[in-house]
Amino acid sequence: MEYYNYLKSLHIIFVLTWFVGLFNIVRLFVYQIEASEKPSPEKEILQAQFKIMSYRLWYIITWPSAILASIFAFWMLFFTDLGNAWLKMPWMHIKLGFVFILYLYHLKCHQIFRQLQKDEVKYSGNYMRLFNEGATIILFAVVFLVVLKSAFNWIFGVVGIILFSVLLMLGFRFYKRIRERK
């Protein structure tokens, strides 16, 4: 039990860096997609630079952070007494569901990353801006579930996440209108 707080600290650090990577990689996708619409030679120069930046972010920060966050989570859940107790609690099952969705989001980012590395643009910049909010929603859901562990509070948390998602979508539409006016 004395090493539990070290595991927890390392888990939190790598979850943070994982999210930083996810937030920034999708932002780079937006820039790379928008660069594909520029005239030559600006297009080629920007795309080459964004490919390098994306590659380094994805393989040096995001993937290692995802793996290390998962290792420390697995260690806490299955090799500590407290983790074994948490696995019996309903809020943890819901949190693990959101973590599963996060892995799916990460894998979708990997697919988009590989496409853009091959200069295959299948999504618009606006789509990727909206897609970027997926990680934000997952982050809010997981943090609220961890902090508000009781059954009554997490129900309000899920409702709050839905309302937060609606606000994000409205904000996105508002931002899109501002961008289109320019």
Does 122 carry a binding-site annotation? Answer: no
* 93 in a labelled binding site: no
> Cβ atoms within 10 A of the Cβ of 170, count?
10
Distance CA 50, CA 10 (A): 30
Find out whether 86 and 96 touch, Cβ atoms under 8 Å: no
Classify 37 as helix, strand or coil: coil
Report the distance separating Cα 18 and Cα 21, nearest Å: 5
**Rounded to 10 degrees, what is the CA torsion of 164, 166, 170, 171?**
20
Residues making up the annotated binding site for heme are: 11, 95
- Residues belonging to the binding site are 11, 95
